[in-house]
Structure 1
Amino acid sequence: ESVLNIISESSKPLIIVGGGDWDEKGAKDLVHFAENNYIPIAVSFRRQSLVNNNSTIYIGDLSTSVDMNLIKYVKSADLILVIGARLGEMTTKGYTTITNNGNQKIIHIYPDSNELGKVYKPLIGIESNSSECAKILRGKAIKNITWKKWTKMGNDNYIRYSTPSPYKTEPDMGKIITYLKHTMPNNTIVTIDAGNFSGWIQRFWTFSEPFTQIAPTSGAMGYAIPAAIAAKIAKNNTQVIAFCGDGGFMMSSQELATANQYDIKPLIILINNNMLGTIRMHQEIHFPRRIITTDLINPDFKLLASSYNLHSERVQKTSEFPNALDRSIKSKKAAIIEI
């Protein structure tokens, strides 16, 4: 009741959701509570599938590809209800997004009491499992809601940011991701490797079902392919897509032998720029005259795929992608589309 009273006294409330202790019902319970009370929800790094991104209360993700307008929005909130997220470096953009200076109240609900108040001092700190908390909140109604315009502003901004802008060079990854998400089923499981390429997926893919995003929050390269194989084993009748860069692909591509041996059929989208892009970015920013060991001489990925008995495609123009995707799906095999 104290939490509800504090929310009702605010004019710009915000919920930030994250963590790994959710179940499917808990995630839906929280969205039900937020939608009934028009409270906007942002998610922490790689927790986008906890909230239906089509919901009118969803405002985006606090991740590596965070929208600057979303940061301003979070800074403007007068109350932040945090459920399951740690409020770590990534979620807070180096501890700069949330101020906790007296103008911004925080209610922090987390399953480990050691995290409560570790960085930001909450007005109320509650040790609780996230799904159990959401179950209690589900049926609660707040009277005198005054923040509907505030919530709509956040959702409108998310829609603008997640809509690809015109892109003059080829291939256009915004259009490719948009085509892919509209073509694949809503329950498609997406695994994402570490790297700058992940920004396209995090920004333009729409997650509408719980637990359909699987990705490391630690920046671990080589994650997407084995994760996709495992997901396909667990959910054999569900489409599974692995997104990876060429650097991450080369760190775990040997797992394609497992896919071949056990007839496991994920779709792998390989985004190839012939370099370790994130590391190269930091080199060029911080040491522009010291570019070292970030260029890659890759194998012929189509030949490599063939050696593992996979279907393969190479796309160089946006217009080539739809037919490449269609052939990959119709192959009835594990497939790689190199872009």
Structure 2
Amino acid sequence: MRHGGQILVDQLVRLGARRAFCVPGESFLAVLDAFHDAPVELITARHEGGAAMMAEAHAKLTGGPGLCFVTRGPGAANAAAGLHVARQDSTPMILFVGQVPRGHKDREAFQEVDYRAAFGGLCKWAAEVGETERLPEYIARAWHVAVSGRPGPVLLALPEDVLSARAEVRDLDHAPIELAPTFETVAQDALGWLAGAERPLVVAGGPHWSEEAAADLGRFASAQGLPVALSFRRQDYLDNRHPGYVGDLSVGGNPKLFARLGEADRVMLLGTRLGENASKGYTALRPEGPGPSILHVHASPEEAGLVWRPDMSVTADAVSFIRALARQAPLGRDWSGWTGALRADYEAWVTPKPTPGAVKMEEVVRWLAENLPEEAIVTNGAGNYAAWLHRYYSYRRFRSQLAPTSGSMGYGLPAAIAACLEYPGRPVVCMAGDGCLQMTINELSTAAQYRAAPVIVVANNGRYGTIRAHQERTYPGRQAGTALANPDFPALAAAYGGVGVRVERTEDFPAAYEAAKAAGRLAIIELMLDAEALSPGQTLSEARAAGEARGA
């Protein structure tokens, strides 16, 4: 006989769980009790949103579902930001939420929420466990749903009395092993379709990637002489030094690459949904057409035809299908002129363009790209500061980038903590804006508690820069709601037992980074940016002038 909390944790251990993230709550005390003796590391965050983002980042790093425990009501509401990241990034995750006792249901009891109704749209599956004996069944199913097809988040609500009650029940093993097809014949058909192209383009992204898949993608591109673009914030899926790599389809990305996407006559989508950002707001490619012939490879059969109308579609995970493509003999088509032109566009794009001020983000990012080892992990959230990272950083190894395709602010620090815990020997750098970092800055305490030592580089321009840019282009000269009063970031790092330094000249950054890294503790490097330095491609004054020219 075990209480429900013990049954739950034992089942997670049986399925392979090694680490979970939480903010504790009285609604799942039995689970916390079970973690006391479990071979699972329980990481206590300071906010449920931070805990959920750590779990999501852990899942990206490991391929297994990220596990997060939060309490009912406000705890679940706070964790919704991490659920949204997992949903849009196709990341497997299970959010366990405490619930009121069964006898209190439907009375609007203290912190009661109908989680299936409130969170169903954010999850692949949202359910509530009604019987202690069925905990293994629900948990095994949640694990399977999270990782299968297009991965994503699952929510399980856990009534307090279900967890505290005792039952005699056996743990369940993993779902049966799936015998996947080899895809050799389908890959040959795909290459036969590709052979008819004059201007082909491969766009890769989405879930299920691995070190092996990244290497196979490089071999496939080399054998066929193909240009490969990567979707938004999937820049580590192919070594950026590869001659076939032509850039990423990102927010603020290379206009020439988006134009090339529109010029291509055959586009192979490998694993990616090719969402709004990667299609430039559905304008570089238009779902309604006209446009290129499309072959769409995705793990979910529902994805083909959902937005893009492909001429061919394959239901397969990217790892399996790219392995089959990499084994095929060269077609013998000469696309070198087309591929070379796209590569030249990329190389011109990543040539640094000077921005105003004594601290130049383009030079800071290029220094990091040239001096960080290949295995370094770089994390970021959302904001104009990330455009410098997208444009000027060269990703050379798979899983060296942790960033939300959902565009969630505050993601960088929780992701950096998860990366430090999973790979304590690898350098971890968190790039953040002053507004982005302050969304989850309380997680510095979590980093200190678990001796995670990321180097956090804060781009301080005293504003929500992305919104200010839109503001100036739409309502020039009418700033409202985008100015920030910031703390002393280096002093804040010191308050959490870390080190901090303020950089006011670009040439001082290398020494600042080396000192921060040598400290072996969490570190903050604050970059004091010029107010004009709004983005890599536009100053504040230029954004305002553009708005005025349009008569905004």
On whether the aligned pair clears a TM of 0.5, the verdict is yes
Q: Describe the SS at the equivalent of 1:114.
A: coil
Task: Give the partner amino acid of 2:380.
Answer: I
Aligned twin of 1:17: 204
- Identity, in percent, stands at 36
Provide, for residues 114-141 of structure 1, a one-character-per-residue CA deviation record: whole Å limited to 9, x for no partner. 1111122111011111111111111112
Aligned twin of 1:292: 480
1-structure distance, mates of 2:237, 2:419: 17
2-structure distance, mates of 1:275, 1:45: 24
Contact residue 265 and residue 333 of structure 1 kept, 8 A: yes
Matched, 1:281 2:469: yes
Q: Alpha carbon RMSD of aligned pairs, Å?
A: 1.4
Aligned twin of 2:240: 53
Q: CA 1:7/1:247 → structure 2, altered by over 3 Å: closer, same or farther? A: same
Q: Describe the SS at the equivalent of 2:440.
A: helix
Matches within 5 A, 1:197-236: 197-236=385-424
Contact residue 11 and residue 146 of structure 1 kept, 8 A: no
Deviation at 1:305, TM superposition (A): 1.1
Matched, 1:80 2:296: no
1-structure distance, mates of 2:276, 2:517: 39
Deviation at 1:284, TM superposition (A): 2.0
2-structure distance, mates of 1:242, 1:143: 42
Matched, 1:63 2:250: yes
Matched, 1:191 2:379: yes
Deviation at 1:289, TM superposition (A): 5.4
1-structure distance, mates of 2:416, 2:290: 44
2-structure distance, mates of 1:150, 1:19: 25
**Which of 297, 302, 309 is matched with 1:121 structurally?**
309
Deviation at 1:260, TM superposition (A): 1.2
Contact residue 224 and residue 332 of structure 2 kept, 8 A: no
Contact residue 302 and residue 312 of structure 1 kept, 8 A: yes
Matches within 5 A, 1:28-177: 28-99=215-286, 101=289, 104-177=292-365
**Which of 316, 330, 336 is matched with 2:518 structurally?**
330
Q: Describe the SS at the equivalent of 1:113.
A: coil
Deviation at 1:185, TM superposition (A): 0.6
Task: Give the partner amino acid of 1:92.
Answer: S
> Which stretch shifts more, 87-96 or 38-47?
87-96
Deviation at 1:169, TM superposition (A): 2.9
Q: CA 1:271/1:169 → structure 2, altered by over 3 Å: closer, same or farther? A: same
Contact residue 80 and residue 104 of structure 1 kept, 8 A: yes
- 5+ residue gaps, structure 1, are none
Deviation at 1:146, TM superposition (A): 2.1
Normalising to structure 2: TM-score of the pair?
Answer: 0.60
Aligned twin of 2:501: 313
Deviation at 1:180, TM superposition (A): 1.4
Provide, for residues 294-325 of structure 1, a one-character-per-residue CA deviation record: whole Å limited to 9, x for no partner. 10111111211110111111111111111111
1-structure distance, mates of 2:253, 2:491: 37
Deviation at 1:156, TM superposition (A): 1.5
Matches within 5 A, 1:241-252: 241-252=429-440
Contact residue 493 and residue 522 of structure 2 kept, 8 A: no
Provide, for residues 219-261 of structure 1, a one-character-per-residue CA deviation record: whole Å limited to 9, x for no partner. 1111100100100100000000001101111111111111112
Q: Describe the SS at the equivalent of 1:312.
A: strand
Contact residue 285 and residue 291 of structure 2 kept, 8 A: no
**Which of 446, 451, 457 is matched with 1:269 structurally?**
457
1-structure distance, mates of 2:410, 2:356: 30
Q: Describe the SS at the equivalent of 1:271.
A: strand
Contact residue 4 and residue 142 of structure 1 kept, 8 A: no
2-structure distance, mates of 1:279, 1:232: 31
Higher RCO, 1 vs 2 (CA within 8 Å, ≥6 residues apart): 1
Aligned twin of 1:258: 446
Contact residue 203 and residue 268 of structure 2 kept, 8 A: yes
Provide, for residues 142-192 of structure 1, a one-character-per-residue CA deviation record: whole Å limited to 9, x for no partner. 333121111111111111111213445321111111111211111100101
Q: CA 1:308/1:156 → structure 2, altered by over 3 Å: closer, same or farther? A: same
> Which stretch shifts more, 289-298 or 237-246?
289-298
2-structure distance, mates of 1:262, 1:94: 41
Task: Give the partner amino acid of 2:308.
Answer: Y
2-structure distance, mates of 1:227, 1:268: 12
| Larger CA Rg, structure 1 vs 2 | 2
> Which stretch shifts more, 237-246 or 258-267?
258-267
Deviation at 1:103, TM superposition (A): 5.4
Q: CA 1:278/1:167 → structure 2, altered by over 3 Å: closer, same or farther? A: closer
Contact residue 283 and residue 290 of structure 1 kept, 8 A: yes
Q: Describe the SS at the equivalent of 2:485.
A: coil
Task: Give the partner amino acid of 1:178.
Answer: R
> Which stretch shifts more, 285-294 or 101-110?
285-294
Contact residue 193 and residue 215 of structure 1 kept, 8 A: yes
2-structure distance, mates of 1:103, 1:10: 13
> Which stretch shifts more, 27-36 or 201-210?
27-36
Contact residue 186 and residue 207 of structure 1 kept, 8 A: yes
- 5+ residue gaps, structure 2, are 1-187, 528-552
**For this pair of structures, how many residues does the alignment match?**
339
Q: Describe the SS at the equivalent of 2:432.
A: strand
Matched, 1:3 2:3: no
